Amino acid sequence: MGPRCTNRKGSGLQGLKLFLYDQEHPILRETPNPALPDGVSSEQLVSDYLRRLYTEIQNLIVSPRRSAELGTDFWFSQPASWSADNQRVFAKAVRDAGFGSKEADNLFFLTEAEAAALYFIHQRGSEADVGAFHIQGTGSNTVYEPLGRSSGINSGVAALDAAIRQHMKELPPHIFGLVRPLNEALLDRICDLKYRFHGTEEDPIPTDETGVITVPPDVLKNSLNSTVVAIINLIAANIVPPRPLEPQVSDVFLTGGGSRVPYLVEQIRQRLQHTVTLHRLDSYEQV
């Protein structure tokens, strides 16, 4: 959303994102303040630009890969200095452009600093699931210094799904009220239960609204535990400074699908509650 952005007439607009700042914000005194086209609000202008981006994503990425049914995660970064009103206007502009309009899609908003940290972790093609950084400064002067070496492969939500599927396949069908083995569609639905499983449930958990097929909570918990423990151990190993005089990690930012697994989040919080402050992606989602 920078120097190459254009309005609906095709003319160039410098720093489109600046239209969403409060007019008295100091950054607008440091940057040439562009003028809005007549009759167009800042919200509409940003939506116009993002709508073209959304259309291209649907045409070039989502449709060819047939991923519409599975849903797509859209992440947007915004300046940490934005007011609640700035954030509200931006979120509405994003939604008006089409992002998050499909039921299966997820829409997340991060500060630019958080987005930069995620980039550093995933810059090698998601070869690492955990990375530790010493963050200094704010705004454009923020510096991310890696602490030790990023580690962990296949320790995310895909690993949780694989563990659930393997565990369920080894159980007799009558556990789920069935006479035949679980098929792939049922396994997919059971995997989805992790997004609403807290580990404190006592009654069998229905796989859909009919309630015919259920999963005992202890069975689901047992399928998750080994992977959850492995993820916690990986995080704990990265909290300890690898070299003398390096700062202790004080905050853990849980992102991706794992941040939406209540049981994983709660287990991490219990294990590390006296060591770090835990943040998760859902807390950054605009509702």
Instruction: Determine the Cα–Cα distance for residues 255 and 259; give it in Å rounded to an integer.
Output: 5
Q: Is the pLDDT of residue 26 over 50?
A: yes
> What does the pLDDT look like over 73-128, one tens digit per residue?
888 888 766 777 888 888 899 999 999 888 888 888 877 666 766 666 555 444 55
pLDDT of residue 237: 81
Q: In the chain, which residue ranges form alpha helices assigned H by DSSP?
A: 27-30, 42-57, 84-96, 112-122, 157-169, 184-192, 217-239, 262-272
Task: Give domain limits for the chain.
Answer: 5-104, 125-287
- Residue range 128-137: mean pLDDT, rounded: 67
> What does the pLDDT look like over 174-202, one tens digit per residue?
999 898 899 998 999 999 999 999 999 99
* Cross-strand pairs, 281: none
Q: Which amino acid is at 87?
A: Q
Sequence length of the chain is 287
Calculate the average pLDDT of the chain. 77
Q: Which amino acid is at 267?
A: Q
Q: Are 97 and 54 in contact (CB under 8 A)?
A: yes
pLDDT of residue 267: 95
pLDDT of residue 79: 74
Q: 3-state DSSP helix/strand/coil percent for the chain, to nearest 5? A: 45, 15, 40
Instruction: Determine the Cα–Cα distance for residues 40 and 272; give it in Å rounded to an integer.
Output: 49
Instruction: Determine the Cα–Cα distance for residues 6 and 19; give it in Å rounded to an integer.
Output: 13
pLDDT of residue 287: 35
Question: Around Cβ 283, how many Cβ atoms within 10 Å?
Answer: 10
Q: Is the pLDDT of residue 172 over 60?
A: yes
Q: Is the pLDDT of residue 15 over 60?
A: no
Helix (H, G, I), strand (E, B) or coil at 273: coil
Nearest to 147 by CA among 75, 251, 267: 251
> What does the pLDDT look like over 276-285, one tens digit per residue?
888 776 554 4
- Residue range 241-250: mean pLDDT, rounded: 72
* Cross-strand pairs, 77: 110
What percentage of the chain carries pLDDT values higher than 90? Answer: 24
> What does the pLDDT look like over 30-75, one tens digit per residue?
555 566 667 777 788 888 888 988 998 888 877 666 555 667 888 8
pLDDT of residue 187: 92
Is this prediction's pTM over 0.75? no
pLDDT of residue 234: 84
At residue 142 the predicted structure's pLDDT band, cuts being 50, 70 and 90, is low
